[in-house]
Amino acid sequence: MQLEYHCLKGVDFKGHEMEVFRTVAEVQEKCEQIRFSGKSLAFVPTMGFFHQGHLELMKAARKIADKVIISIFVNPTQFGPTEDFETYPRDTEGDLVKAREVGVDIAFVPSVEEIYPEGFQTMVKVQGVTQHLCGLSRPGHFDGVTTVVAKLFNITKPHVAVFGQKDYQQLTVITRMVKDLNFDIKIVGVPTVREPDGLAMSSRNSYLTPQQRKSALCLKKSLDLATEMVSRGKRKADEIKRAVQELILNHPFTKIDYVSVCDPVTLENVDVLRGNTLLALAVRVGKTRLIDNCILSPSGPE
Ligand code: PAF
């Protein structure tokens, strides 16, 4: 089905109307109207290629605010020169249908030129929490994320913005940015959505071959192993990390980027688990880089 990008005003899909905008000026005006009418606005920024995880973010947004806006934009500034910007999976037409079906009111689908017009030269940089985990293996990645999210916040001016906890560091970095730059926006984190066998949903799962897909289960298995070790009284971060690394490397096609046991707020490594602690993983399965995380709670499940 070909959807008209510019504006789908009045088109009724499964009983719900969704408007689609491609320009900053138009979407800004629409969001302004919503605020002016006294309605609350929740925003879900995405890079598209929707799976159930994205749809859960939109459903959460639906519950929080009167109106829901999403953006679909594969943001070039958060990809390194050797990363998958060009090949990142895209399905805008399918995404718009799915978004409308879960009750999204507005979709903003800008071009790269609309977001980064000629002459663009401002970046937003968060310092401390970007210096760990993915920040180490993907230099500049979070500068791209914070820059585009700050721009999208300024364009849509939402009351609430919703992010997935699978990208735990991203959620932490955005929360920091919002606080530091006094954005008047509440940031809400939504739990990771998993396939029935435990694999965290990700657009990049589509890169995996069937054998790699099986191997990719090692991420969730290793989170479960660590959780079980903590429930048996293990508290030494090194011991937990070693067990996790061993489990992952026992699966074919895997290469560990990092296994980190760290403070859930500062993301700094901890030696001994005293309170809630983040276990965060990045693992390459074949050429696909996957991330996952969980909170280890020495005092029992939260
Ligand atoms: O999580 C994502 O999909 C992206 O990093 C985001 C937040 C949409 C910014 O491009």
The confidence score (pLDDT) of residue 202 equals 98
What average pLDDT is seen over the chain? 95
The confidence score (pLDDT) of residue 301 equals 59
Is the backbone of residue 68 left (phi > 0), alpha (psi -120 to 50) or beta?
A: beta
- Among the listed residues 54, 141, 159, 251, the single catalytic one is 54
The confidence score (pLDDT) of residue 16 equals 79
% pLDDT > 70, the chain: 94
Distance, CA of 284 to CA of 276 (rounded, Å): 26
Strand 254-262's sheet: what is its strand order?
254-262, 277-285, 288-296
- What are the pLDDT digits (tens) for 213-257? 999 999 999 999 999 999 999 999 999 999 999 999 999 999 999
The confidence score (pLDDT) of residue 300 equals 73
149 lines ligand 1 (CB under 6 A): yes
273 Cα–ligand 1 center, Å: 30
Contacting residues for 154 by C-beta, under 8 A, at least 6 apart = none
144 lines ligand 1 (CB under 6 A): no
The confidence score (pLDDT) of residue 37 equals 98
pLDDT band at 1 (very low <50, low <70, confident <90, very high): very low
The confidence score (pLDDT) of residue 273 equals 98
Annotated catalytic residue 132: no
46 lines ligand 1 (CB under 6 A): yes
Average pLDDT over residues 178-191: 98
- What are the pLDDT digits (tens) for 36-95? 999 999 999 999 999 999 999 999 999 999 999 999 999 999 999 999 999 999 999 999
260 lines ligand 1 (CB under 6 A): no
272 Cα–ligand 1 center, Å: 32
pLDDT over 90 (residue 114): yes
Average pLDDT over residues 100-112: 98
- What are the pLDDT digits (tens) for 12-48? 445 679 999 999 999 999 999 999 999 999 999 999 9
Amino acid 72 reads: I
Residue-range domains of the chain with CATH: 7-190 (3.40.50.620), 203-296 (3.30.1300.10)
Residue with CA nearest ligand 1 atom 1: 46
The confidence score (pLDDT) of residue 150 equals 99
Is the backbone of residue 49 left (phi > 0), alpha (psi -120 to 50) or beta?
A: left
46 Cα–ligand 1 center, Å: 5
> Which of these, 174, 148, 161, lies nearest to 42 by C-alpha position?
161
